[in-house]
Structure 1
């Protein structure tokens, strides 16, 4: 018999899980299935409640993820742990119509590569969303459709089923960042993949608050960049360059502060100038390191002793980056290149050196 593996990614759903599971058991009667709860170490103890509910049950499994966050990566991890021939995913907060699960399951068994619970086909609805959320959803949907290998009405749905073999064909291409795993699948699957859409009405949450935060929206925009321009210019490089640009401003401000307020001179001596430049440089390095750590390389954020070691590595990398900058710019200038072009290319060489070295040694994947 074909087994359905249903993945429920959770974060702070302690009140919802006990209500949802009995309803799922009832609607899935007659379908051999397993339910996999993948929890991102919820502060409200969702994982603990799920483990208690799983005691004595062979069809309910719980994965507690430590130090890892994100809906897409949670779903991927759940699918990889599943034993079924058909995978499905839905929210654990009651917003997705669980009564549609058998239809999605049977659609995949009947030949669909993916069966989507859709809000935007005839009979579907976004329910009681306010105008702002509806507008944001429409914009996101239109942007997403430009990327999809297979066009559907609701590529941003978080409620769908997929054939195991199809998932296994594309899993290595998936981007675990963000919260729209269906979109990523539709970007990666072959164009001939059959996708069916089944209407449902989006419901209110049973308990808790919406996860649609500003961070989630930014993640979506970053995902769009990653799968388009990011193939050629990594987003981390763009962020690193922006941080470096801010670092130049910090450097200038620090230099001004040191000369005017510490050395108390608007015309410092050579020695005073050198001290001010060194102090300003280190100030900029500190600024760049911490901003890169919390933003550019947020996924590999260093903490505690690792941050101290990383800061030392960053300083060393920047020292050699400065030498690369100097070497390239002076060499080009000696070859009679235009002055500012030589300076610019030297600076770019230094930035690329710093980014590459820090990407490999300071913030490892």
Structure 2
């Protein structure tokens, strides 16, 4: 077992693998950790670079999807394979600075209440195109109005959470965009932290506003339905007076 498993979905990010993994190793140097790269159907050398970085760092694991299944599927595969009780995620394009990872795992490792389930990053000074920023602002506003999840930026890839709590959530494609609402649905406490953001240094984006919009509305309605249909009864164990303390 390790303290923290860092899960990174990647598709055609061969030029970003080395710098990103080196940054993660540095950010996690004070805890026992592993790095799990999920190669989501890449047709470049992403997988080869991840294997090469394991010879350098020694704690890199590679999982491969033969065909691209999307970010949520990649994260889910990584969490299932993870050995850490705390999971951290970040995007594979290098726009999420690895130096922000301690903001995610430190509160979870320090939590003594057992109530904190998710630490979600919220980007400040976002370094993206104007169209992406406006598209994200609209989507976040609509989501916040419908779900009342209390966060302004669920699209940020920097998130930390309890492994057991995540695996208890209902799985569906694109669920990674709704983690605050889903954790809140299961009565977990959520901590929101501001994180920095940087421009993509290499490669090209795998997503567009139009593609996200096509799936966004059905997903939003589905999550709203899941919240309304959540289990509301919470059992409490009871003892006879003579049994208490046994």
Q: For this structure pair, what is the TM-score category when the shorter chain's length is used for normalisation?
A: 0.7 to 0.9
1:116 maps to which of 115, 120, 124: 120
2:211 maps to which of 197, 208, 215: 215
Q: What are the residue-to-residue correspondences of 1:235-246 with 2, within 5 Å?
A: none
Residue 134 of structure 2 corresponds to: 135
SS in 2 for 1:3: strand
Displacement over 3 Å in runs of 4+: 55-58, 146-150, 188-192, 225-231
Q: What are the residue-to-residue correspondences of 1:26-175 with 2, within 5 Å?
A: 26-55=26-55, 58-111=58-111, 112-119=116-123, 124-127=124-127, 129-148=128-147, 150-170=149-169, 173-175=170-172
Instruction: Determine if contact 2:149/2:180 at 8 Å carries over to the other structure.
Output: no
SS in 2 for 1:209: coil
Distance 1:106 1:229 in 2: 33
Residue 194 of structure 1 corresponds to: 189
Instruction: Determine if contact 1:118/1:154 at 8 Å carries over to the other structure.
Output: yes
Structure with the higher fraction of residues in helix conformation: 1
1:147-185 alpha-carbon deviations (Å, 9 max, x no partner): 547422322222100012211322xx121x23x504145
**Comparing both chains, which one has the higher relative contact order based on Cα–Cα distances under 8 Å and sequence gaps of 6 or more?**
2
- Unpaired stretches in structure 1, ≥5 consecutive residues: 232-365
SS in 1 for 2:121: strand
Instruction: Determine if contact 1:5/1:33 at 8 Å carries over to the other structure.
Output: yes
TM-aligned CA deviation for residue 98 of structure 1: 1.1
Q: What are the residue-to-residue correspondences of 1:279-318 with 2, within 5 Å?
A: none
Distance 2:87 2:189 in 1: 16
Q: TM (normalized to structure 1)?
A: 0.56
TM-aligned CA deviation for residue 126 of structure 1: 1.4
- Unpaired stretches in structure 2, ≥5 consecutive residues: 228-246
Q: TM (normalized to structure 2)?
A: 0.81
SS in 2 for 1:61: strand
RMSD: 2.4
Count residues in correspondence.
222
Distance 1:113 1:162 in 2: 5
Instruction: Determine if contact 1:118/1:199 at 8 Å carries over to the other structure.
Output: yes
Distance 1:84 1:230 in 2: 28
Residue 316 of structure 1 corresponds to: none
Distance 2:211 2:185 in 1: 30
Distance 2:117 2:225 in 1: 28
